[in-house]
Amino acid sequence: MKTIVQTGAESVTVQDQDRPTCGDHDVLVRVHTAGLCGSDAHAYRYEEGYEWIPLPRIMGHEYAGTVVEVGAAVDEFVPGDKVVEEPVHNCGSCFQCKNGQPNVCQNFHITGMHGDGAYAEFTTVEPRNLHAVPDTIPLKHASITEPLSIATRAVLTQSMTSVESTVLVEGPGPIGVFVASVADAVGARVVVSGIGQDRQYRLPLLEELGIETINIETNSHEQNRNQLTDGRGFDVVFDTTGHPSGIEQAVDHVRKGGEIIMVGLPNATSEVFFTPMVRGEIALKTSYGSTWTNFEQALQLIERDEIDFETIIDDSYDIADPDTAFRAFLNSETCKPVFSFADL
């Protein structure tokens, strides 16, 4: 089978490997479409915080496919079922798991990082980590269930976003686009901020989705905030940038009594002046990963056509040249590239 394998820092190759064996407690899935996300890009660079990933490694954790075989002990799925994987596997036995917080499990295991992933024609999964995909959802659309579930957690679980809310999403990367799309589906008024490198692809993509944007390098962020919120500030600010400046700017743009939700993972130390946050009773919350419920929420949004996947998904990249997709993503020339294994 064809696989995309990381062999070193900024080094990925296409290899032929044996098809994995389906054990008694496994499900063998034929991968249809697999997405490229920010964590894949950081791993591709082998950045600090990702150097623990054993190489070589078949990459990929966002995907959808079809069950082709089930183990003798599996009765939850049958061949022909359409599925997506919940790729952050929790242990089920640590304090957090037992306390209803499996997304912050102490002993988690990530597909495509701790073990081989879904940039392959076939992959094996334990059934407890699979979600059934409704027949009405195309597999290409279902392939982005995982990043969409991160957005559903941030918006629907961790924030107070409602139809009355004014929302600022900092960062037009894939998670920012999905957070904005979910908040927009809720009925909130949403604006997404970006910088100069985003003006060619990512900000225009959001505008095509009908979501307001601002390039903070060429426009007044303060003036935009005042116009949208009558000068009081945004009800909710989602920081999806993964940059220390994100939280610093969020403090400047959230209203008194509002909330900031950190979704991105800052890659350096941030300096935040907390006095105005305390005086304004601004809630600072974080949102990490997703839960089973968030996956199901994401699938419901997909089934109801609440998200414009044909606009968001970029299927112009070929698995024969994965480097091009990674470099385009890192240069902000695309937002949600996917690899298709369907016709191999």
Same domain, yes or no: 133 and 210: no
- Residue 142 is encoded by which pair of tokens? 């279902």
Same domain, yes or no: 49 and 82: yes
**How many residues make up the chain in this entry?**
344
Give per-residue burial for 177-206: e unless 16+ CB within 10 Å, then b.
Answer: bbbbbbbbbbebbbbbbbbeebbebbbebb
Considering the domain boundaries, does residue 292 fall inside one?
no
Q: Which amino acid is located at 275 in the chain?
A: T
| pLDDT score at 274 | 87
For residue 279, pLDDT beyond 80 = yes
Same domain, yes or no: 160 and 266: yes
| pLDDT score at 220 | 85
Same domain, yes or no: 10 and 133: yes
Q: Which domain holds residue 154?
A: 149-286
- Per-residue DSSP letter, 137: S
Matching residue, tokens 């601002």: 214
Same domain, yes or no: 158 and 266: yes
| pLDDT score at 272 | 85
Model confidence over 313-335: pLDDT tens digits?
999 999 999 999 999 999 999 99
Model confidence over 108-138: pLDDT tens digits?
999 999 999 999 999 999 999 999 999 999 9
In whole angstroms, give the CA distance from residue 337 to residue 344: 18
Same domain, yes or no: 132 and 246: no
Same domain, yes or no: 47 and 111: yes
Same domain, yes or no: 236 and 203: yes
In whole angstroms, give the CA distance from residue 72 to residue 33: 27
**Comparing 24-28, 125-129, 218-222, which segment has the lowest mean pLDDT?**
218-222
Model confidence over 66-106: pLDDT tens digits?
999 999 999 999 999 999 999 999 999 999 999 999 999 99
174 touches 201 (CB < 8 A):
no
Considering the domain boundaries, does residue 298 fall inside one?
no
48 touches 36 (CB < 8 A):
no
Considering the domain boundaries, does residue 303 fall inside one?
no
Considering the domain boundaries, does residue 184 fall inside one?
yes
Same domain, yes or no: 165 and 124: no
Considering the domain boundaries, does residue 230 fall inside one?
yes
287 touches 259 (CB < 8 A):
no
Angle at 230 between CA 226 and CA 235, to 5 degrees: 85
* Count of domains observed in the chain: 2
In whole angstroms, give the CA distance from residue 17 to residue 2: 7
List CB contacts of 343: < 8 A, sequence separation 6 or more: none
Same domain, yes or no: 155 and 71: no
Give 319's strand partners: none
Considering the domain boundaries, does residue 192 fall inside one?
yes
The CATH code of the domain that includes 34 is 3.90.180.10
Matching residue, tokens 């997709």: 325
| Burial degree of 315 (CB within 10 A; 0-12, 13-18, 19+) | middle
For residue 164, pLDDT beyond 90 = yes
In whole angstroms, give the CA distance from residue 216 to residue 63: 33
Same domain, yes or no: 183 and 230: yes
Considering the domain boundaries, does residue 300 fall inside one?
no
Considering the domain boundaries, does residue 295 fall inside one?
no
The CATH code of the domain that includes 279 is 3.40.50.720
306 touches 281 (CB < 8 A):
no
**Comparing 181-190, 267-276, 328-337, which segment has the lowest mean pLDDT?**
267-276
Same domain, yes or no: 52 and 165: no
Matching residue, tokens 């990702």: 50
| Burial degree of 279 (CB within 10 A; 0-12, 13-18, 19+) | exposed
For residue 268, pLDDT beyond 80 = no
- Residue 151 is encoded by which pair of tokens? 């957005």
In whole angstroms, give the CA distance from residue 297 to residue 178: 13
CB atoms within 10 A of CB 266: 15
For residue 311, pLDDT beyond 80 = yes
Is the model's pTM score more than 0.85?
Answer: yes
